[in-house]
Amino acid sequence: MAHYYEKESHTFNEYLIVPGYSSAECIPGNVSLKTPLVKYKKGEKPAITMNIPMVSAIMQSVSGDKLAVALAKEGGVTFIYGSQSVESEVAMVAKVKGYKAGFVKSECNIRPDQTLKDILELKEKTGHSTVAVTEDGTAEGKFVGIITSRDYRVSRMDKDTVVSTFMTPLNKIIFAHEGVTLSEANDIIWDHKLNSLPIVSKDGKLCYFVFRKDYDEHKKNPNDLLDEQKRYIVGAGINTRDYAERVPALIEAGADVLCIDSSEGFSQWQEITIKYIREKYGDSVKVGAGNVVDKEGFKYLAQCGADFIKVGIGGGSICITRETKGIGRGQATALIEVCEARDEYFKETGIYIPICSDGGIVHDHHITIALAMGADFMMLGRYFARFDESPTDKININGTLMKEYWGEGSNRARNWQRYDLGGSSKLSFEEGVDSYVPYAGKLSDNVNQTLSKVKSTMCNCGALTIPELQEKAKLTLVSSVSIVEGGAHDVILKTK
């Protein structure tokens, strides 16, 4: 006879945190959100510690190299999506590891024989006002000029005007040669009152731009997550099919941590994959596994040697696994049980395996609730898909800017490896949808606001660290009526 759970499973939205005593030192500025990414032994430090409890989902519509740099600047980790060729994923990882803080590859480039119309279309597409003019229109082409919004007036110029006639030519541009340090570049910017400084190679090719605004932003951001060589830390997704080819290539490219991308991780396929990594690399290569929703699943992956374990099946906003297959569990209930199993495992073995809560985060306060329940960090998809740095296009829908967002189990992604149960190499049916999410701007602005809320709630609990929150937090289930009461009610809201 099938096993029946006595109690129903719950979501984050059905819980509230009951505030506790907070001393005068409990102010957001004193809160630390540092959290382990990978397992460690009692008394030792983890090989990778994040400065914020946020990683990005292993999804085509979320985790590209641009988001990886932006999130690492804030102190979190991006897992580059694995549902692409090995060569493409390796190139993304290498791009992040090769990124020079402050030195930006030109994303807005044009040829001198193109027109003002092309400039305007490029500006509309990218949002950038600085356009590099290169002989072949690529970011690495021979540098011949630059165009900013000061070089043209749309109302007074024909849109067929050729770029070469109104650009600022090279002989009138202040630039620096490749090899200049960031400090030297910033000195040139300040001395000459520039907004940007092109960095040019000895043979005249454009290498990078250094922007005045990036200097200011860097000074405001002390949370950069860097490796021992001062490069940004980046993760990469793998699957249980081509790991023997993909893993060595990703390690060679510099990936700091791997994660098996699977909709359901209580599987021998994950054991086989982890075993391959351990036999080839020992414990030097860090790999997360999952997803699971109960203590049996946790114990299995812990014994397999996972460095962190993901919790959650069917709770993602674009996931329809529960709808199509009838499997899963309420995210809050699943997380509570797995974290209890994690704590028991730590007591028995002295090995702490971080838990990643994957899915079910709708509101910012759900992050704090998940942390209080025992999660060490969140994996977020929809949240990051909304930002400038995600790989998808901005689209105007009925006057509202949106970003595309699709699930790995959708026909668009066709990531059959993620849902592979052996047998034929195809996606037999969809477990994800193709959708839009409201455009929200820059990653840094949104992450800072979200974490301000997290820190504020932690202070309400008298906690200055995540472990302290987990020790002190008091959680209560709420009724459907209480959920309604928690929002604005019995008033007429003013339209914004």
In sequence order, the β-bridge partners of residue 334 are none
Give, in order, the Cα–Cα distances in Å from 380 to each of 310, 330, 339: 12, 17, 19
Cite the DSSP H helix spans in 75-211. 86-97, 116-126, 182-191
Give, in order, the Cα–Cα distances in Å from 257 to each of 47, 236, 488: 10, 7, 43
Cite the DSSP H helix spans in 161-242. 182-191, 212-220
Q: Which residues contact 278 (CB under 8 A, 6 or more apart)?
A: 305
- Residue 356 annotated among the catalytic residues of the structure: no
Tell me 136's DSSP state.
T
Residue 451 near residue 51, CB atoms below 8 Å: no
Selecting among 246, 329, 342, 418, the annotated active-site residue is 418
> Rounded distance, CA 239 to CA 418, Å?
7
Query: Tokens 């060679």 identify what position?
Result: 252
> Rounded distance, CA 141 to CA 145, Å?
11
To 10 degrees, the CA torsion angle through 113, 118, 123, 128? -10
- Report residue 348 as tokens: 């028995």
Give the Cβ contact number of residue 484 at 10 Å. Answer: 10
What DSSP assignment string belongs to 335-361? HHHHHHHHHHHHHHHSEE--EEEES--
3-state secondary structure at position 237: strand
Selecting among 319, 339, 459, 461, the annotated active-site residue is 319
In sequence order, the β-bridge partners of residue 380 are 56
Terminal alpha carbon distance of the chain: 56
Residue 386 near residue 205, CB atoms below 8 Å: no
> Rounded distance, CA 97 to CA 69, Å?
9
- Report residue 19 as tokens: 């505030």
Give the Cβ contact number of residue 332 at 10 Å. Answer: 24
To 10 degrees, the CA torsion angle through 11, 16, 22, 27? 60
Query: Tokens 């092309």 identify what position?
Result: 118
- Residue 153 annotated among the catalytic residues of the structure: no
**Torsion angles phi and psi, residue 206, rounded to 5:** -70, 130
Cite the DSSP H helix spans in 64-181. 65-74, 86-97, 116-126
- The kind and range of the H/E element at 367 are helix 364-372
User: Could you give the residue numbers annotated as active site?
Assistant: 319, 418
